Structure 1
Amino acid sequence: MTVVEPRLTLERRLLREHTLVIACDEVGRGALAGPVAVGAAVVDAPRSRKRVPQGLRDSKLVPELRRHDVAARAASWVAASAIGWASSQEIDEIGIMRALGLASVRALADLRRQGVVVEDAIVILDGNYDYISPAGEWALTIRPVIKADRDCASAAAASVIAKVARDDLMTDLHDELPAYEWARNKGYASPDHRAAIREHGISRHHRASWSIAEAPTLF
């Protein structure tokens, strides 16, 4: 399989018309347990002229043992970064798409607290659906881009920064509830995770509506 190295081609083109590019990417969307996270990474004109950090890829393509190092270099490379979260309870209450919008708004709010004028930016959003605008926090220019985390260095940075933070959180939660093996499966629907749900039921960190569907004989 040929590995595509993310570039700054789109970012440089967009920076001709916008002061900033903010790339957003989600992690944890398909998990049965734990929050969803949206990473946001800011690239300005000076960063767009710098070399992309070595090894930066969509987080799914970075070996787990190298992710912390790659994420640290990505965070140092971008002008600013942030992570927004939506809890498993919020996902159950409002649905996954609205939860992604909520997490995105929280990431963007964090950037504002860091001094980033988000209204001056164009937002590259990985995927084909704009879940940020319906959150309605600010009037932003959103550009969904399919495979942005593969092709755009800013989105790859957002992806790996968020992935490392969420994986670390799930590893910490594993220490609280080791039966679910979250240090290994990070809350996704692996066979060991499904088996633990069938044996122990769901925890307060599970997305109840999703996890019950995975083990209907319990309920």
Structure 2
Amino acid sequence: MSSKTFPSLNLERELWAQGARFIIGMDEVGRGAIAGPVAVGVALLDSQDQRVETAWPSNLKDSKLLSEKARNEILAPVQTWVSGFAVGMATANEIDTKGIVQALALSAGRALDSLLQDASLRQAIARDGAIIILDGSHNWLGAKASGIPVIVRTKADRDCVSVAAASVISKVERDNLMIGLASSFGEYGFDGHKGYASEAHIQAIRTTGPSSEHRHTWLTKILGDGQLSFEE
């Protein structure tokens, strides 16, 4: 396996060695889309779970490096391997009203709230410690980290198995939501581009106008002067 492609437990092991029992990998998906929600996934690894070191799927990697078919196939093994997982989302309207950074924090807070519903897990984290590994270059979590320290790492979705797991879980859940929306908004092709700015998607908006699932504040420039960097 190339270390440039496949993640490892190296950072997680370092953090465990520093005394934290739990690692929470966190990654977002949908930040650059022009329709649909932004989603944040969390994947929990417990150092006391023996499966953590031996049972992660050998083909697990950053969701962006996997085909849609491969992501769907690996989802169940990933969910079985991690000690817990959750996905939080913020709607297109929330993105419009709050801005993308606050929407990301809102999504993360919802994901953490869902993960920490289990009282015994909350007690274990309070007693034994946890650290969040956040993919990216800056901490957009703010107060939404539920009191848990945050480590920010560029390319963590590529390099850290906990974050790679979170990336797959959040990507598949958001993709499935967009596929479901296609039945109500068939003219936009959400099941194909998943809300990103493909050329066909932009043409559909020009022809039909934006839907309630579009990020209207993001479309002003697109619909006004036609400037757009297409993303497949």
TM-score of the superposed pair, with normalisation by structure 1: 0.94
Match of 1:180 in 2: 188
Q: Which letter does structure 2 place at the counterpart of 1:75?
A: Q
For residues 114 and 71 of structure 1, the distance between their equivalents in structure 2, rounded to whole angstroms, comes to: 22
Q: Which letter does structure 2 place at the counterpart of 1:77?
A: W
* Deviation sequence 1:13-55 (CA, Å, 0-9, x none): 1112101000100000000000000000000112432232121
For residues 192 and 216 of structure 1, the distance between their equivalents in structure 2, rounded to whole angstroms, comes to: 17
Match of 1:14 in 2: 15
- 1:122, 1:141 within 8 Å by CA — same for their partners in 2? yes
Higher mean C-alpha displacement, 151-160 vs 137-146: 137-146
Higher mean C-alpha displacement, 23-32 vs 106-115: 106-115
Match of 2:108 in 1: 104
For residues 217 and 102 of structure 1, the distance between their equivalents in structure 2, rounded to whole angstroms, comes to: 31
Q: Which letter does structure 2 place at the counterpart of 1:48?
A: V
- 1:58, 1:150 within 8 Å by CA — same for their partners in 2? yes
Q: Which letter does structure 2 place at the counterpart of 1:129?
A: H
CA RMSD in angstroms, aligned pairs only: 1.6
Q: Which letter does structure 1 place at the counterpart of 2:218?
A: W
The 3-state SS of whatever aligns with 1:37 is: strand
For residues 108 and 87 of structure 2, the distance between their equivalents in structure 1, rounded to whole angstroms, comes to: 8
> 131, 139, 142: which is aligned to 2:147?
139
Deviation at 1:130, TM superposition (A): 0.7
Match of 1:90 in 2: 94
> 28, 31, 36: which is aligned to 1:26?
28
For residues 204 and 118 of structure 2, the distance between their equivalents in structure 1, rounded to whole angstroms, comes to: 41
Deviation at 1:59, TM superposition (A): 0.3
Match of 1:123 in 2: 132
> 67, 72, 95: which is aligned to 1:68?
72
Deviation at 1:111, TM superposition (A): 0.8
Deviation at 1:136, TM superposition (A): 4.4
TM-score of the superposed pair, with normalisation by structure 2: 0.89
Deviation at 1:94, TM superposition (A): 0.8
Q: Which letter does structure 1 place at the counterpart of 2:68?
A: E
Q: Which letter does structure 2 place at the counterpart of 1:106?
A: R
For residues 186 and 204 of structure 2, the distance between their equivalents in structure 1, rounded to whole angstroms, comes to: 10
Q: How many residue pairs align between the two structures?
A: 216
The 3-state SS of whatever aligns with 1:6 is: coil
Unaligned runs of 5+ in 1: none
- 1:22, 1:124 within 8 Å by CA — same for their partners in 2? yes
- 2:112, 2:145 within 8 Å by CA — same for their partners in 1? no
For residues 51 and 145 of structure 1, the distance between their equivalents in structure 2, rounded to whole angstroms, comes to: 24
Higher mean C-alpha displacement, 164-173 vs 59-68: 59-68
Match of 1:151 in 2: 159
- 2:96, 2:215 within 8 Å by CA — same for their partners in 1? yes
Q: Structure 1 vs Structure 2: percent identity of aligned residues?
A: 43
- 2:112, 2:146 within 8 Å by CA — same for their partners in 1? no
* Deviation sequence 1:144-184 (CA, Å, 0-9, x none): 11000000001000000000000000011011111111111
